């Protein structure tokens, strides 16, 4: 059943930021690059106000936690007051095999 607690805007970034990486663990740099590219593409949808499309492109983990309608409403409420994005800076990204509330496997959390 969908619903549950909504993660908040910061939680959404984290929920999508740890994109499962379909590569071997020894190719960690390529995994980070792939996940970062996906996260940037997804955030562009959010920044452009395409909230339904960003939900469609999000991970199953996020989609099972909130309906598209709930997601769109909550993200719009949190994102619109911030105005246009002026810049983004990736603080860090690394590969991990375990994160809270996520299935085990190679993933790339990003902040």
pLDDT of residue 25: 53
Where in the sequence is the domain holding 41, given as residue range(s)? 8-108
d(CA 11, CA 64): 14
pLDDT of residue 49: 93
In a domain, 3, yes or no: no
pLDDT by residue for the chain (111 residues), tens digit each? 333 333 344 444 445 554 545 445 557 788 888 888 888 899 999 999 999 999 999 888 888 889 999 999 999 999 989 999 998 888 887 776 666 666 665 555 544
In a domain, 53, yes or no: yes
Query: Cβ(45)–Cβ(57) under 8 Å?
Result: yes
pLDDT of residue 28: 77
Domain total in the chain: 1
pLDDT of residue 71: 95
In a domain, 96, yes or no: yes
In a domain, 25, yes or no: yes
pLDDT of residue 66: 92
In a domain, 1, yes or no: no
Residue among 27, 12, 106 nearest 59 (CA): 12
């Amino acid at each position: 059943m969908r619903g549950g607690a909504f993660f908040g805007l910061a939680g959404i970034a984290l929920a999508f930021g740890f994109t499962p990486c379909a590569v071997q663990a020894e190719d960690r740099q390529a995994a980070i690059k792939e996940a970062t590219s996906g996260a940037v593409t997804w955030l562009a949808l959010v920044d452009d106000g395409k909230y339904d499309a960003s939900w469609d492109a999000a991970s199953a983990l996020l989609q099972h936690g909130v309906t598209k309608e709930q997601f769109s409403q909550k993200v719009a409420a949190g994102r619109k007051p911030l105005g246009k994005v002026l810049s983004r800076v990736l603080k860090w990204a690394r590969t991990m095999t375990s994160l809270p509330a996520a299935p085990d496997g190679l993933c790339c959390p990003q902040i």
